[in-house]
Every structure is written in C-alpha cells, then in structure tokens.
Structure 1
C-alpha cells in the first residue's frame, strides 16, 4: 500500500511507517508522550505556548468532533522540545461542552504539558481514548502550513498522530506533529 500524504489512517491501514526507529517509537508510543520526551531531553523539557484562544476549527476538525460549522472551540497550540530545539508541535481542540466540571482545568493549564492532566496522578481527568490515527503531512496540509507560520518553514513531510479522547460524553482531539529533530537523538 502506498502512503497517501495528508490522509489520516489507523495504524493497521498505514502502509509504510517511518524508517527512523526513534521517530517510530515516539509516533506509536502509548501513555504520556510528554514523559518520553522529557527523558529524551535529559529531564528538562521546554514547552512554548504558541496560541490558546477560542476560534473556528478547520473544516476537517469540525467533522472530526461533530461540531456545527461556525461554532468555536478552544484551540491550544504548543511546541515541546529540548532547549531551543522543538521536537513536537501539538494542537488541542476542546469544544465548549468539553470544559465542564473537572475538565475546566484545561482553561488554566497555561505553559504546563497537557499530559499532566491526561496521564498524571493525582488529579488526572476521567478520560478515555477513543481512536488514534496517523498521517504523513506535506507542505499542502493546513497543519503543516500552520506550523510554518508559527515555527518557520518545514522543508519535508512530517509524521503526525491524531487522538480522539472522551470526557463524559464529549469528545476532544489532540494532534501531535513530530518535527524533524524528533527523529534525532
């Protein structure tokens, strides 16, 4: 099966996987990716909050979360890396109805990694993972264009994973894009 850039697929439908074993281990990791990246960075992780605001999600994101066109979601974009070297771009989409009860903590997370709320104890949120898809993104994808706006142009295709979680009966999404340095030790 040939890999179709910018098409999200379940792992079993993916076809060619990244050749680099370090990148592959991050891309297909379960549990806290933040924890894995922190180990890779020798215990110190640099998280930069690039954007957090209510905005209209892209059409593909609206469809993913069953959002009505024109509705807002809280969009949080961060880069995570070792020092000044970004390894990961993450985009979180939270519909307003996902921010009730304990999940309101998403509103005040600021520059802390999201993994602390999802996987860290104590105080972790009652969530469950519904689905995870993967894609190889090229420069034509909206998310790759957004990364170029925020972090500078990327000259190569980038691997990404998109995870749908549920809290209560509300879904939210996290898209994680592995930047070129992620595959380097």
Structure 2
C-alpha cells in the first residue's frame, strides 16, 4: 500500500465552531461520541469488527500535530495507522502519534499492540485522561485524505476528529477519519 502525504492541513476546530447544518446527518453522533470509539464500532459491527494494521514506525508529525502534542520542531513520534473494519469494509482510518518522550512507563506497551485496538488499552487504563478534541472536514489535497481513502472509489470528502490523550501524564494524539461506508444511524 502506498502512503501519500500532503502538508496542506484541514481546518481542525472544536465542535462549537461547527453548525449542525454543516455536518451531514448521521455523522454528528460519531464525531461527538465521548467514549471509546472501538467499543462503539464493535457494537455497531455486531461481532464482525476487526482492525487492520497498515503501518507503524518512526515519523515526523504534521505541523498542527506537533503543536498540539507540545513538541519541538524536528521531533519524532511512533506513528501507527490502522483501518477499523466491519468484515472487509473499512469504516474508520485511524492515525496515532506517540512522541518519543511519551514512550516511558505505561505508554511503552502501546508500541506492541500490532492488531489490537488502541481504544481497548486507553479506556481500560485508570491513568488515561482525555484532552481537547477537534473536528475537520477533509477533502482531496488535505493531509491524511489520500492515505485514508487509498483503495476507495470516488470519495469527495471525509469527516474526522482528533483527540489529545494523556496516559500517565504523557501525551499522544489519535486522529479518526470516518470513511464513507460507516453506518449513519446510531448503533
């Protein structure tokens, strides 16, 4: 699988900056869900959920990711990209960034997940704290759009969110882009 990255970023904003009429019907409940997306997807997939690891390794974050994580220029992260599927149909493209300085203590185990969902670990850890969540509409040419839609036909726009988490006080960033086949009715 090829990975394409643009440095042109979408306009990530807090939910309060979006008007309900901007967000497609059926997408708001995914974007605003405060709990574990993994658990919610498993419920919606009715036992047919699985995760596909696309890539994991060292990388440099995008500029807005770097700032959100409080990193210096030139810093590196462990980058993990996965698809969350119902059967063989991808519903979510997720990109997790863990800064080097966060890979101490409890967070070290996050590099060993392979095809285990990150949400299972985060939401079961009593030290986990959820920070800021931002939403964006992504279009062709935006960073992450091409990687998220690789292999999908005629996708014009995606909605996504990204959340800053703290595990034992150490930051990590999770981007979740909702793909066209995700159910739009509440599970």
Instruction: Return the TM-score normalized by structure 1.
Output: 0.87
Alpha-carbon shift at residue 109 of structure 1 (Å): 0.9
After TM superposition, the structure 1 = structure 2 runs for residues 128-143 of structure 1, keeping only pairs within 5 Å, are 128-143=129-144
Unaligned runs of 5+ in 2: 1-8
Q: Is 1:50 matched up with 2:49? A: no
CA distance in 1, matches of 2:115, 2:22: 32
* Alignment-derived partner of residue 108 in structure 1: 112
**1:139–1:154 Cα contact (<8 Å) kept:** no
Alpha-carbon shift at residue 169 of structure 1 (Å): 3.7
Runs of at least 4 residues off by over 3 Å: 150-154
Higher relative contact order (CA 8 A, sep 6+): 2
Query: Which whole-Å deviations, capped at 9, do the CAs of 1:28-86 have from their partners, x for residues lacking one?
Result: 11111111111111122120000010111122221221222222100000000111100
After TM superposition, the structure 1 = structure 2 runs for residues 117-136 of structure 1, keeping only pairs within 5 Å, are 117-120=121-124, 124=125, 126-136=127-137
After TM superposition, the structure 1 = structure 2 runs for residues 1-185 of structure 1, keeping only pairs within 5 Å, are 6-15=10-19, 16-21=21-26, 23-120=27-124, 124=125, 126-148=127-149, 150-152=150-152, 155-184=155-184
**2:106–2:167 Cα contact (<8 Å) kept:** no
CA distance in 2, matches of 1:168, 1:19: 36
CA distance in 2, matches of 1:181, 1:161: 17
CA distance in 1, matches of 2:15, 2:184: 22
CA distance in 2, matches of 1:6, 1:72: 21
**2:155–2:180 Cα contact (<8 Å) kept:** no
**2:69–2:171 Cα contact (<8 Å) kept:** yes
**1:147–1:153 Cα contact (<8 Å) kept:** no
Residue correspondences, number: 176
**2:10–2:143 Cα contact (<8 Å) kept:** no
* Alignment-derived partner of residue 5 in structure 2: none
